[in-house]
Amino acid sequence: MATLNNNFLKLQKNYLFVEIAQRVAKYKEEHPDAPVIRLGIGDVTRPLAPAVIEALHKAVDEQASSETFRGYGPEQGYEFLRQAIKDNVFQPRGVEIGIDEIFINDGAKSDTGNFGDILGTDNSVLITDPVYPVYIDSNVMAGRAGDINEGTWSRITYAPCTAENGFVPALPEKPVDIIYLCYPNNPTGTVLRREDLKRWVDYANETGALILYDAAYEAYIRHDDIPRSIYEIEGAKQCAVEFHSYSKTAGFTGLRCGFTVVPKEVTARAADGSRVALNPLWNRRQCTKFNGTPYIVQRAAEAIYSPEGKRQVQETIDYYMENARIMREALTAAGLQVFGGEDAPYIWFRVPEGTTSWGFWETLLTKYNIVSTPGVGFGPSGEGYIRLTAFGSREECTEAMRRIAANPF
């Protein structure tokens, strides 16, 4: 008889957004006319850039003729896109990344989860807390998380990020092997300064730990002194793998494309004690389990790097960041302590004294008809906070803030 990977039975039942959807559905059932505004889920709402649409149409037409038809592409992605990434993402920042270190993916969620395939199940894992849930659940599935007890996993090290430490995680006291960092951060919307990130890179190089760096929101960084890639930090090519996504950068949440950078220098220890490069192993994994991102989608991604594409994509990012500014100002004026939203499309704020994440979440829903995300849903250190996203429409965003200003807490 077939048996299960029992680790799947350890996964927590109610995924955060399912719980939110259920609570909102119940509220709407009881108040069918309530003008509910959703500032909770992190999906984008603006359409794809015209340059992207044009590239898609052209690529579709190519598929209609035997001369230009493309079937299976390289598992690592087409060279035209990998070259465009090298030239437009890394070169301008003085980072030397080879195209054979760039792997086109079908989104950063898949690869942040998949990367564990080539890593031992005996590794100890560090996450920042609060955290994007995929890092934890994919490690639960792999058997690296241990057992859950009062909301924390026994074999995962949590690095709290709260207002008290300025949302800068402290280096661990006990040794860890794999470190997940996500900057700009989802859910807190905060960033790491160069010197803070350097401490993690130095730590990883000193101890042999591997950093899995999620740069899904790098396009939202506005301050020049904030690193947009971990490879801007000296020594990072020896210890870090970096995940990029076009989802939040260019509205590809439905198209599905991004890229993963695995430098040739980055290694992990084999059972015999030798250090083995991860790049060829990841290549082998991809060639076995992945047959490439669709050609037309890779052409769409390439279009982001044309002069018009760059300008159009920036306009959309500016639109979301203006939403973020409006929310920051309104919530600050309402007396809340607000974080994030300056180099990221997320606003993270502390709930008023005497309430909790879920308690204030209910207030926002029932008093203002605003759907938010309770910070505690992202981990224990998220208790006492709420996340709002800047991905809504300008109209909904300003209307939500108007309701708060008109009827203070």
Ligand X SMILES: *Cc1c(COP(=O)(O)O)cnc(C)c1O
Residues engaged in binding ligand X (CB under 6 A): 42, 107-109, 132, 182, 186, 214, 216, 245, 247-248, 253, 258
Residue with Cβ nearer ligand X (107 or 263) = 107
Q: Looking at beta carbons only, is 104 or 338 nearer to ligand X?
A: 104
From CA 156, how far away is CA 145, in angstroms rounded? 6
Contacts of 261 (CB under 8 A, 6+ apart): 97, 101, 102, 103, 231, 241, 242, 243, 244
**Burial of 96 per CB tally in 10 Å (0-12, 13-18, 19+):** exposed
Look at the alpha carbons of 259, 263, 269, 275 in this order and tell me if their dihedral is positive or negative: positive
Q: How far is the CB of 105 from ligand X (least distance, A)?
A: 8
What is the helix, strand, coil percentage profile of the chain, to 5?
A: 45, 15, 40
Of the candidates 191, 251, 230, the residue with the CA atom closest to the CA atom of residue 42:
251
Distance CA 259, CA 387 (A): 27
- Shortest Å, Cβ 63 to ligand X: 24
Q: Which of residues 132 and 153 has its CB atom nearest to ligand X in the complex?
A: 132
Please give the full DSSP string across 365-406, using - where no structure is assigned: HHHH-EE-EEGGGG-GGGTTEEEEES-S-HHHHHHHHHHHHH
Residue 38 half-sphere exposure toward CB, CA atoms < 13 A: 14
Residue whose CB is less far from ligand X, 376 or 404: 376
Give the nearest distance from C-beta 220 to ligand X in angstroms. 11
Q: Considering the complex, state which of residue 292 and residue 330 has its C-beta at the smaller distance from ligand X.
A: 292
Smallest gap from residue 186 Cβ to ligand X (A): 4
Token digits of residue 49: 């850039």
Which residue's CB is nearer to ligand X, number 185 or number 312?
Answer: 185
Q: Which two tokens stand for residue 234?
A: 């000296």
Residue number with CB closer to ligand X (245 or 293)? 245
Closest-by-Cβ residue to ligand X is: 107
> Please, which residue, 113 or 380, has the CB nearer to ligand X?
113
- Distance of alpha carbon 253 from alpha carbon 87, whole angstroms: 24
Nearest distance from C-beta of residue 287 to ligand X, angstroms? 21
Query: From the DSSP assignment, how many helices (H) and strands (E) are in the chain?
Result: 12, 17
CB of 46 to ligand X, least distance (A): 15
CB of 42 to ligand X, least distance (A): 6
Choice between 249 and 267, CB closer to ligand X = 249
- Distance (Å, rounded) from C-alpha 360 to C-alpha 350? 10
CA–CA separation, 65 and 53 (whole Å): 20
Place of tokens 């979440």: 361
